[in-house]
Amino acid sequence: MRFLLLLLPWCCTLTALAERQPLQIGVSINPLVSVVAAIGGQAAQTSLLVPAITDPHTFELSPRQLRTIERSDLLVFVGLGLEFWARNFSASQRAKLFLLGKTLLEDNPHVWLDPTLLRSRLPELADRMCGLRPELCATFQRNLSTYQALLLQLDQELALEIKGWSKKNFVSYHPAWHYFAKHYGLTEIGELKRGHMSDISIQELQELLKRSHNSGASVFLIEPRGATQQVSEFATRLGFEVVEVDDLGLAGEDYISLMRRNVGALARVMK
Ligand SMILES: [Zn+2]
């Protein structure tokens, strides 16, 4: 009994200490780091799992990243097949997951490139954080409101810019801009990559070129990952004006700056 009484203050101090530790959040892709950090503020520590320069479709987990997953209280992933390397996650690892694309029925994972889709999922993310740290819930909810307002402002700014473009159709390297195009009234005529892994066939390429010609699409979106130089030369030979956009961003680049940079790049050829 005496031993238990001695142990009590020690155990409770430990609990209090654990509560003061920042919430550990593993984030699968670079553009979501700043989003999660904005809601978590000082009370959360985010760790990126797939480095910004890496193609998330061909990524493999290292022992260091596995340790990050084990250490995390919460894992913010996109889902919809993007984190294929999480297929064999254990039940306890799965229990930590928050999936950004959970409410969508489509199989295209590039949800974050539509700021309104991203925004619609953040209250649930803040609720998950609240469940893990009830004593910090008011902070998470306050941070959420501030960031939601910034995303709304970003969306209005991008919509106003895109509304003024004379070109509305484009062809892209891989189907990253599907939700972005749908939301801002643009049309993605097609892609060189079927899904993420394989190239389209010669016949599909011929059909794509015919569709682009008929729709007047003259702009081709390339990305900084993959065979950028070869794809750019190929698209130029086919008569497209090539523009580089980035679905994942540079290391440390925040989501709002990334979206502004992409729309700025597109504006130079679509206006
Ligand atoms: Zn992709």
* Residue 176 CA to ligand 1 centre (angstroms): 5
8 A C-beta contact, residue 169 and residue 216: yes
Domain 21-157: give its CATH architecture: 3-Layer(aba) Sandwich (3.40)
Alpha-carbon distance 58 to 85, whole Å? 9
Q: Where is average pLDDT lowest: 75-84, 108-117, 205-214?
A: 205-214
* Residue 192 CA to ligand 1 centre (angstroms): 12
Q: What percent of the chain has pLDDT over 70?
A: 92
* Residue 74 CA to ligand 1 centre (angstroms): 23
* Residue 57 CA to ligand 1 centre (angstroms): 7
With 90 as the cut, is the pLDDT of residue 157 above it?
Answer: yes
User: Burial level of 151, CB count in 10 A (0-12/13-18/19+)?
Assistant: buried
* Residue 47 CA to ligand 1 centre (angstroms): 20
> What's the confidence (pLDDT) of residue 145?
98
**φ/ψ (deg, to 5) at 260:** -65, -40
Q: For the residues 135-157, what does the mean pLDDT come to?
A: 97
8 A C-beta contact, residue 250 and residue 106: no
Residue partners of 27: CB distance under 8 A and separation at least 6 = 33, 36, 46, 47, 48, 49, 75, 76
Q: Domain segments of the chain: what residues?
A: 21-157, 159-270
Where helices occur in the chain by DSSP H, the ranges are 2-20, 30-40, 63-71, 91-95, 115-132, 137-163, 178-183, 202-215, 228-237, 255-270
8 A C-beta contact, residue 171 and residue 62: no
> What's the confidence (pLDDT) of residue 5?
46
Compute the mean pLDDT over every residue in the chain, rounded to the nearest whole number: 89
* Residue 16 CA to ligand 1 centre (angstroms): 42
* Residue 140 CA to ligand 1 centre (angstroms): 30
* Residue 52 CA to ligand 1 centre (angstroms): 13
* Residue 134 CA to ligand 1 centre (angstroms): 35
Q: What is Dmax (Cα atoms) for the chain?
A: 85
> What's the confidence (pLDDT) of residue 87?
87
Domain 159-270: give its CATH architecture: 3-Layer(aba) Sandwich (3.40)
Render pLDDT for 120-131 as a digit per residue (tens, 0 to 9): 999 999 999 999
Q: Do domains 21-157 and 159-270 have the same CATH topology?
A: yes
> What's the confidence (pLDDT) of residue 194?
77
